[in-house]
Amino acid sequence: MSEKKFDYFIDGKNDKWEVIIGLEVHAQVLSKSKLFSSSPTKFGAEPNTQVSLVDSAFPGMLPVINQFCVEQSVKTGLGLKAKINLNSVFDRKNYFYADLPQGYQISQYKNPIVGEGEVILDMPYGTKKIGIERLHLEQDAGKSIHDMDPENSFVDLNRSGVALMEIVSKPDLRSPEEVNSYIKKLRSIMRYLETCDGNMQEGSLRADVNVSVRKIGDKKFGTRCEIKNVNSIKFMQMAIEYEARRQVELLESGKNVNQETRLFDTKKNITRSMRSKEDAHDYRYFPDPDLLPLKLDESLINKLKKGLPELPDEKKERFIKDHNLSPYEANILVSEKEISEYYEEVIKKCDKKLATNWITVELFAVLNKKNLPISQSPVSAKNLSSLIKMITSGKISGKIAKDVFEKMQAGDKNPEDIVQKEGLTQQSNPKELEKIIDSVLSKNQDKVTQYKSGKEKLFGYFVGEVMKVSKGKANPQLVNEILKKKLH
């Protein structure tokens, strides 16, 4: 294989610098109710209507853990090939903020539910393994709204207490491209597992990005900065680019990088220090005395392991091995759960190779043009499958198929109906074809003479004329055969 070489470095005045990136991804657990209370988690509800007495920290209220959220995080851990900790502890992270009604966040500090794991990335320069440091469960905070009133902030606690999985990577990422690939892979794994919907616009997936730089060849990591709460991959990439350059400039001019929390300003595309958050931060973690240590049974883990769906890496392997797809094709088809589901639905009744082409070329072109996810594809998997079947059975030609495909898009029409209604069935009856061919040849006596005297290029012209007369329906293979015979 011809592989590109990794080439993301920052060119400083004197040196080339390597960028070291680690990610703390906050993924909202897909669950009906919150981590420690029975209020709902739906996005976009009226302010403060999804808030229980527990979420708003009324005196005497106590947390009770949601079993499903525990299982969701174990499943995610299994999907990350990670160690599941049979004993974990919930701690309180203490700080004051308007959207943190308890005055502390329940999180897991020293003993997380999931330990070390890994995520495999497919980069143009080969596969790369990114280490996962840990995954822990914690509560989300509410939301302060600052722009509705000049003097006051408004507090909405709908998100307060929603379950999050914080997934911490090792500092194994080296470029914005790898970050892009990592987030997409993580998102894909969780969507296969149905543990997080990965919707970045709705905030179900956010990340804090740790960035440091070091000269090529250096073994020691540099001082890192944490860029808080970046909510799109594009912004993450821009933030990393900016932050890495900023650090290189500082270091090359003999200054130090301060370990600090920074904010990505999406208007100016720069990162800036959040000093206000820095000075008073001492989280005073300690085990939450309202909760006992969380003990998991091996049997539960085995049960969840058995129930795991096929994940993208395994699926890809299978597609390559059993379906004879190229790694490139397999990668595209497994990249999103819905794509792989679509593909697997299509191939239930038709040729795999042809299906792959139709999905990755024709269908993706349409989806791109209309800016739609595959789940909202104008052509259903079932109908695409029928279309492809008509091609392989010779009922329609590939060319006609493209026209039919075009027509199917208006309201997911059944291709067989279109073909029948518009009489697009391929003409494969030799007698019928002979009639057309005879009439074409008799109209073009002069060209026949020219052909026979050696101008063989004219063969294509005859085929074209036959197709024209048959309105594209003539079976090209048969036309070829008959024409050859007639012209001898």
Partner 1 sequence: MSIDKDTVKHISKLARISLDEKKINNLSKDLSSIMKFIEKLNKLNTDKVTPLTSIINASLKSRPDEIKDEKIRDQILKNSPEKNEEFFVVPKVIE
Partner 2 sequence: MSDISKFSLTEIVNGIKKKDFTSEEVTKSFIDNSKKSKKLNTYITECFEDALKSAKNFDKEKNYEGLLSGVPIAVKDLFCTKNIKTTAGSKILHNFIPTYESTVTNNLWSQGAFLLGKLNCDEFAMGSSNETSFFGSVKNPYGDKLVPGGSSGGSASALAAELTPATIGTDTGGSIRQPASFTGTVGLKPTYGRCSRWGIVAFASSLDQAGPMTKNVKDCALLLQAISGYDPKDSTSINTKVDSYSSKLTEQVKGLKIGIPKEYRVDNMPNEIDNLWKKGIDYLKDAGAIIKNISLPHTMYALPAYYIVAPAEASSNLARYDGVKYGHRAKGKNLIEMYENTRSEGFGDEVKRRILIGTYVLSSGYYDAYYLKAQKVRQLIKDDFDKAFKDVDAVLTPSTPNSAFKIGDKTDDPVSMYLNDIFTVPVNLSGLPAISVPAGHDKNNLPLGLQLIGKAFDEQTILNLSLAIEKRANFKRNYKNWWT
Element (H, E) at 72: helix 67-79
Nearest distance from C-beta of residue 240 to partner 1, angstroms: 22
Q: Are 233 and 224 in contact (CB under 8 A)?
A: no
| 271 DSSP β-pair partners | 264
Nearest distance from C-beta of residue 244 to partner 2, angstroms: 29
Nearest distance from C-beta of residue 147 to partner 2, angstroms: 15
Does 307 interact with partner 1 (rule: CB under 8 A)?
no
Does 247 interact with partner 1 (rule: CB under 8 A)?
no
Does 100 interact with partner 1 (rule: CB under 8 A)?
no
Instruction: Closer to partner 2 by CB, 138 or 172: give it.
Output: 138
In this chain, which stretch among 34-42, 345-353, 367-375, 443-451 interacts with partner 1, using CB under 8 A? 34-42
| 168 DSSP β-pair partners | 24, 134
Kindly report each contact of residues 423-431 with a partner whose C-beta sits within 8 Å and lies 24 or more positions away, as own/partner: 423/473, 424/396, 424/400, 424/473, 425/395, 425/396, 425/473, 426/394, 426/395, 426/396, 426/397, 426/400, 426/473, 426/474, 426/475, 427/470, 427/473, 427/474, 427/475, 428/394, 428/475, 428/478, 430/478, 430/482
Q: Are 437 and 482 in contact (CB under 8 A)?
A: yes
Instruction: Closer to partner 1 by CB, 281 or 369: give it.
Output: 281
For residue 198, which amino acid is it?
Answer: G
Instruction: Closer to partner 2 by CB, 288 or 329: give it.
Output: 288
Instruction: Closer to partner 2 by CB, 102 or 426: give it.
Output: 102
Q: Are 81 and 129 in contact (CB under 8 A)?
A: no
Applying CB under 8 A, the residues found at the interface with partner 2 are 53, 56-65, 92, 94, 96, 98, 101-104, 153, 155, 282, 284-286, 289-292
Element (H, E) at 213: strand 205-215
In this chain, which stretch among 64-72, 317-325, 414-422, 461-469 interacts with partner 1, using CB under 8 A? 64-72
The DSSP-derived string for 115-144 is: --EEEEEEETTEEEEEEEEEEEEEEPP-EE
Instruction: Closer to partner 2 by CB, 53 or 86: give it.
Output: 53
Build a one-symbol-per-residue string for 152-171: x at contacts with partner 1 by CB under 8 A, - elsewhere.
xxxxxx--------------
Instruction: Closer to partner 2 by CB, 4 or 281: give it.
Output: 281
Q: Residue 1: name its binding partner from partner 1, partner 2, none (Cβ under 5 to 8 Å by kind).
A: none
Element (H, E) at 166: strand 163-169
Site of interaction with partner 1 (CB under 8 A): 31-33, 37-40, 46-54, 56, 64-70, 89, 96, 98, 144-146, 149-157, 274, 276, 280, 282, 284, 287, 291-295
